[in-house]
Amino acid sequence: MDNNSVWAPVRVLFVAVLVISIAALGVAAVVGGTWVVWLRGAAVAAASVWLVALTGQAARGKRAAYVRIRFVSIAAPIGIVLILLAPDSGYPVWMKAEQGVVGVLVAAVALIVNRRAVREAYPKGGKLR
């Protein structure tokens, strides 16, 4: 398995999440976002920076970084679906749409990093391949 063929698209997806999150903060500044919007937007932007950094670590063979990315890429879309379905979440429609796009991007990461070849390249307790 070529690490670049796995981690380059993952990095692109996480950078896209970061750009979208920063754009959402810009929209919040223009339209007057609530504290919920600012908190969510800032948290997703910060998490995106962290995930881009983790991607670099995973590409260098760090299993712990891979495991974290794998967990987040599964858990985050589930949380986003709950936000989208909650009738009184406090998020405006535009932010629900933004979070829907973020959810799709992160779910794409989950599809990439949970492939058998990728899982086998980061064996539990073993040497990286």
Domain extent, residue 25, equals 3-121
Section 119-124 average pLDDT: 90
Residue 127 confidence (pLDDT): 57
Residue 63 confidence (pLDDT): 94
pTM for the model: 0.91
Q: Given a cut of 80, is residue 4 above it in pLDDT?
A: no
Does 126 fall in a domain?
Answer: no
Tally of structural domains, the chain: 1
- Cβ atoms < 10 Å from Cβ of 61: 14
Does 46 fall in a domain?
Answer: yes
Does 112 fall in a domain?
Answer: yes
Does 80 fall in a domain?
Answer: yes
Does 70 fall in a domain?
Answer: yes
Q: Given a cut of 80, is residue 128 above it in pLDDT?
A: no
* SS3 of the chain: CCHHHHHHHHHHHHHHHHHHHHHHHHHHHHHCCCHHHHHHHHHHHHHHHHHHHHHHHHHCCCHHHHHHHHHHHHHHHHHHHHHHHCCCCCCCHHHHHHHHHHHHHHHHHHHHHCCHHHHHHCCCCCCCC
Does 129 fall in a domain?
Answer: no
- The pLDDT tens digits for 61-77 are 999 999 999 999 999 99
Does 34 fall in a domain?
Answer: yes
Provide the token pair at 118: 């990728």
Does 79 fall in a domain?
Answer: yes
- The pLDDT tens digits for 17-38 are 999 999 999 999 999 889 999 9
